[in-house]
Amino acid sequence: MTSRRRAGGARVRPADVRQRASRAAANHGRPTLEFTSGTPYDDYVAAQELHALQRPITDIPEERAFLVTTQVMELYFGLIRAEWHLAQRLLDAERVAEATAVLARSVRYFEALNAAWGALGWLTPAQFNSFRDALGEASGFQSAMYRHLEFLLGNKSEPLTRPHRRDPKVYRELVAALRAPSLYDTVLALLARRGFDVPPAGDPAAEYVPSPLVEAAWVKIYAEQGPGDELWTLAETLTDLSERFSDWRYRHLMAVRRSMGAKPGSGGSSGLTWLERSLRRDVFPELWSARTTM
C-alpha cells in the first residue's frame, strides 16, 4: 500500500496491523489525540472541503437541506457510474460472478439514493417557493453525472448532451458515454458469446429498442437455469437494479409533486409531466416482458 497525496498537499500515511496494535497498546486503548498536522480522517475524507461546498444562495434555512441532499445524490451518481464501468470490464473479461457482485452493490446504493428523497419529505410548496426563485434555471435535469447513468442504462439521446457544450471536459465525457456501449449492450454481448441468438450490436449512440430475440434469450435462461447459475443470477441482479432505478424515478416524481405540484420545471420542462414520461421508460425491458412469456 502506498500513501496518497491530494492536491492540497495532505498525505494519508498507511499503517499495518502491527502498527495499529502498537499504537493501541501505547494509548492504553484510548484514541490518539495528538497529531503533527491535521487529523488523518480529514486528510482522507477531505471533510473541511466537503463542508465548504455547501454554499446556499439564500438565507432561507430550508435551502441548506435541499442543497445537501442534492449533493449527496451527486456523489452517489459518481459512485454508481464507477461501479457500472467496473462491471462492464468484468463482463467483457467473462468474470460474470464478480461483475454481478459489483452490480448488486450498486443496488444498495440506490436504496440510499431512494432514502435521500425521504429527507426532503417535509418540504412543502410554501417552503420550496421561499427559495426556488433564487435557483433560477438550475435543475436536476442538468446533472451530467445523472446523464451518465441514463446513458449506461441505454437511455441514449444526443440532444441531452447539449446543455453541457460550454464545459468542454464534461461535454467530451458525455459524448464519449453516448457513443460507448451501455451496460445492457455489454450484457447482451456476453449472451452472444455464450451462444444465445441476440441481435448484432447496433449503433451504441442510439436509444435501445427492445427485441423479441433478447426476450427469448432471457426466457431460455430462466427456463433452463436456476439459482446458482451465473447468468440466472445476473438476470435477477439486473432486475433488482431496474426496479430500484424505477423506484428512484418514482420518488423523484413524488418529491416534485409534493413540493411544487404540476408547476413548470425550473429547467424549462413541463415538470411533473416530463417526469411521468420518463417513468414510463423501462430499464432492461426484456427482463420484464420475459416474465409475461414464461
Please report where in the chains the cell 502498537 appears, as a residue.
22
What's the CA gap between 20 and 22, in Å, rounded?
5
C-alpha distances in angstroms, 28 versus 34, 35, 36?
A: 15, 17, 20
Q: Annotate 193-217 with b (16+ C-beta within 10 A) or e (fewer).
A: eeebebeeeeebbeebeeeeebbbb
CA distances from 134 to 32, 68, 71 (A): 45, 16, 18
- Rg (alpha carbons) of the chain, rounded to whole number: 23
- Asked whether the beta carbons of 286 and 191 are under 8 A apart, the reply is no
- Does 85 count as an annotated binding residue? no
Measure Cα distances from 193 to 39, 91, 170, 189, 222 in Å.
51, 11, 33, 6, 18
Q: How far is CA 60 from CA 64, 69, 144, 190, in A?
A: 8, 15, 27, 51
Say if residue 132 carries a ligand binding annotation.
Answer: yes
8-state DSSP, 206: S
In this structure, is the dihedral angle defined by the CA atoms of residues 143, 149, 151 and 153, taken in order, positive or negative?
Answer: negative
Q: What is the dihedral of CA 285, 232, 77, 256, to 10 degrees?
A: 50
198's CB contacts (< 8 A; 6+ apart) are 188, 191, 192, 211, 213, 214, 217
Joined together, the cell numbers standing for residue 29 give 486503548
Contact 245, 110 (CB under 8 A): yes
**Residue stretches of the annotated binding site for heme:** 252
**Residue stretches of the annotated binding site for substrate:** 132
**Residue stretches of the annotated binding site:** 132, 252
